[in-house]
């Protein structure tokens, strides 16, 4: 497949006045030379150096199709590692299709989804985790997503994995060297205390990477925020205020919201996934009971809880409600949103709420202090704790591989602590290396590659 020369439009249709058509493969320069007439004589692509631009026209049978700019990248110094030409033409769909048709007539093949990035991986321009980050970068819709994808694409995660594999290979080589001289029991190439210390360090790094997935997944898909409270506390009104649209039905009738309502919003570059839940109360209504059960499920899954309290109501009722759900709020980040501050600002609980709670007075209906609530959400969200050089895992495939690697390194630690035979310890070490190598694509199967790249857009 890599011997084919491929072509595709790399810009989305109808997005602007220009479009980019990418051609990559061994015949890319020759094929483009055959249809391109440079403005200056003697400036054909075949004599141009890499990283140069050429101005001229694309012609079919002597008739010009469009005036274009051609960007030339010589192998291996291109995205794919192959000779690559990018034609910048006008954005007309007709012009794009005519140029593509002409390229195919001259010997190109239409590129498959993700084939350019796949070739970059196969040609050693990036490892598999970096290739997956390309898709994440294209799909990013927030500053948090962009930051993580760019870091991974530039090799931050890859370098961390490379260091771990090098340390594991060092341990393995020492262990297996001992096996080669097993008939000499007095020989010990690997100091066991040093190996235990190294294995402990590797376990800690892998564990931290695996644990970072909860943060990375939240940033990638939106930090889940559940809005909970008693019926008619203003939950749906708050959701509408945060989204700045009438997403949820608002009514004075208790139990209006009978199912969870979800939507996402970008606040200062961070994506949040807000979940408006059914009001929690005792009821015999079958449908409302199902909605309350889903509210509890959303509460358990949420990273941040906005607990709504109606300031116009008796505080004792709210305290009784809190006691019913208190166990579900353990280890959760809670914002106590005291609603209807325009009507009343009195809040005198008889039992103090946890000190770590964040408290804010708002009016969801009149949208008072909503910007302050959004600012508070940003301050306590996952992205605020991320440092520039932190490695955060966002990919489910990577997380699963890290989990398997962690299980293997735990067996290595146990084997070293119990003086297990070196051949068994070595096997567990190699299994750990295998799972880490799977992330980088060093041992990945064709089926995995197909599954990854088929979800890319054509042209990338």
Architecture of domain 6-127: 2-Layer Sandwich (3.30)
Tell me the C-alpha distance between 195 and 201, whole Å. Answer: 10
In this prediction, residue 18 carries a pLDDT of 92
In this prediction, residue 300 carries a pLDDT of 77
In this prediction, residue 388 carries a pLDDT of 57
In the block, tokens 């010990």 appear at 188
Q: How far is CA 60 from each of CA 21, 68, 298, rounded to the nearest angstrom? A: 17, 14, 60
Task: Give domain limits for the chain.
Answer: 6-127, 132-212+392-441, 229-382
In this prediction, residue 160 carries a pLDDT of 87
Name the pLDDT band for 293 (thresholds 50, 70, 90).
low
Give the CATH class of 229-382. Answer: alpha beta
pLDDT of 28-62, one tens digit each? 999 999 999 999 887 788 888 999 999 999 998 88
In this prediction, residue 66 carries a pLDDT of 94
Q: Would you state the structure tokens that stand for residue 183, as one six-digit string? A: 């008939």
Highest mean predicted confidence (pLDDT) among 311-325, 397-411, 413-427: 397-411
Q: Would you state the structure tokens that stand for residue 292, as one six-digit string? A: 């309350």
In this prediction, residue 155 carries a pLDDT of 81
pLDDT of 282 > 60? The answer is no
Contact 458, 138 (CB under 8 A): no
* Orientation angle between helical segments 156-180 and 422-440, nearest 10 degrees: 160
Could you check whether 132-212+392-441 and 229-382 share the same CATH topology? no
Name the pLDDT band for 92 (thresholds 50, 70, 90).
very high
Highest mean predicted confidence (pLDDT) among 217-221, 330-334, 410-414: 410-414
Q: State percent of the chain over pLDDT 90.
A: 28
Instruction: Give the distance from CA 143 to its chain's centroid.
Output: 12
Q: Compute the mean pLDDT over every residue in the chain, rounded to the nearest whole number.
A: 82
pLDDT of 249 > 80? The answer is no
Query: Region 280-287: what's the mean pLDDT?
Result: 51
Query: Region 341-348: what's the mean pLDDT?
Result: 77
pLDDT of 434 > 70? The answer is yes
Lowest-pLDDT range of 152-156, 251-255, 292-296, 440-444: 251-255
Strand partners, 414: none
pLDDT of 432 > 80? The answer is yes
pLDDT of 188-239, one tens digit each? 555 677 788 888 998 999 999 998 888 888 778 888 888 888 877 788 888 8
Architecture of domain 132-212+392-441: Up-down Bundle (1.20)
In this prediction, residue 4 carries a pLDDT of 92
Lowest-pLDDT range of 72-76, 245-249, 318-322, 416-420: 245-249
Q: Which helix (H) or strand (E) holds 115?
A: helix 115-122
Tell me the C-alpha distance between 352 and 333, whole Å. Answer: 17
Q: Are strands 333-339 and 304-310 parallel, antiparallel or unpaired?
A: parallel
pLDDT of 117-155, one tens digit each? 999 998 989 888 888 888 888 888 777 777 888 888 888
Tell me the C-alpha distance between 10 and 21, whole Å. Answer: 6
Q: State percent of the chain over pLDDT 70.
A: 85
What pTM does this model have? 0.71
Contact 246, 263 (CB under 8 A): no
Strand partners, 24: 6, 84
Q: How far is CA 2 from each of CA 6, 69, 109, 191, rounded to the nearest angstrom? A: 9, 26, 11, 47
In this prediction, residue 31 carries a pLDDT of 94
Burial class (CB in 10 A: 0-12, 13-18, 19+), 92: middle
pLDDT of 450-460, one tens digit each? 777 877 888 88
Question: Sign of dihedral through CA atoms 101, 33, 88, 69?
Answer: negative
Sheet with 333-339, edge to edge strand ranges: 261-267, 270-276, 223-229, 304-310, 333-339, 358-361
Question: Sign of dihedral through CA atoms 91, 94, 95, 99?
Answer: positive
In the block, tokens 């906005």 appear at 306
In this prediction, residue 248 carries a pLDDT of 45
Q: Which helix (H) or strand (E) holds 289?
A: helix 286-301
Tell me the C-alpha distance between 355 and 53, whole Å. Answer: 63
3-class secondary-structure state, position 81: coil
pLDDT of 254 > 80? The answer is no
């Amino acid at each position: 497949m890599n011997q084919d020369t491929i072509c595709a439009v790399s810009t989305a249709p109808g997005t602007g006045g220009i479009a980019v058509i990418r051609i990559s493969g061994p015949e890319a320069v020759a094929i483009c030379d055959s249809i391109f007439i440079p403005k200056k004589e003697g400036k054909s692509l075949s004599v141009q150096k890499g990283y140069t631009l050429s101005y001229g026209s694309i012609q079919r049978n002597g008739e010009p199709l469009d005036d274009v700019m051609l960007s030339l990248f010589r192998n291996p110094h291109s995205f794919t590692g192959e000779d690559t030409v990018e034609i910048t033409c006008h954005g007309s769909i007709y012009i794009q299709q005519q140029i593509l048709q002409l390229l195919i007539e001259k010997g190109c093949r239409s590129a498959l989804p993700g084939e350019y990035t796949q070739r970059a991986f196969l040609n050693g321009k990036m490892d598999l985790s970096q290739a997956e980050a390309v898709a994440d970068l294209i799909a990013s819709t927030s500053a948090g997503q962009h930051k993580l994808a760019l870091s991974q694409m530039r090799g931050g995660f890859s370098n961390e994995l490379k260091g771990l594999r090098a340390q594991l290979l060092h341990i393995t080589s020492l262990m297996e060297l001992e096996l080669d001289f097993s008939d000499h029991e007095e020989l010990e190439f690997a100091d066991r205390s040093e190996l235990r210390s190294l294995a402990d360090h590797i376990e800690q790094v892998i564990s931290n990477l695996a644990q970072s997935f909860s943060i990375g997944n939240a940033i990638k898909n939106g930090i889940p925020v559940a809005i909970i409270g008693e019926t008619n506390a203003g939950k749906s009104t708050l959701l509408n205020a945060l989204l700045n649209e009438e997403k949820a039905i608002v009514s004075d009738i208790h139990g209006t919201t009978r199912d969870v309502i979800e939507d996402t919003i970008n606040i200062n570059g961070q994506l949040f996934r807000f979940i408006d839940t059914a009001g929690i109360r005792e009821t015999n209504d079958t449908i409302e009971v199902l909605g309350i059960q889903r509210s509890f499920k959303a509460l358990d899954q949420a990273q941040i809880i906005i607990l709504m309290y109606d300031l116009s109501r008796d505080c004792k009722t709210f305290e009784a409600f809190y006691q019913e759900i208190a166990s579900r709020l353990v280890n959760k980040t809670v914002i106590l949103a005291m609603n209807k501050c325009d009507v009343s600002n009195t809040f005198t609980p008889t039992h103090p709420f946890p000190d770590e709670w964040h408290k804010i007075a708002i009016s969801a209906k009149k949208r008072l202090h909503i910007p302050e609530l959004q600012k508070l959400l940003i301050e306590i969200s996952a992205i605020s704790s991320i440092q520039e050089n932190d490695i955060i895992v966002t990919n489910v495939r990577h997380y699963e591989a890290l989990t398997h690697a962690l299980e293997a390194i735990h067996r290595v630690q146990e084997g070293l602590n119990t003086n297990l035979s070196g051949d068994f310890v070595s096997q567990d070490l190699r299994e750990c290396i295998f799972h880490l190598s799977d992330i980088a694509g060093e041992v990945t199967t064709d089926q995995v590659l197909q599954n990854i790249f088929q979800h890319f857009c054509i042209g990338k």
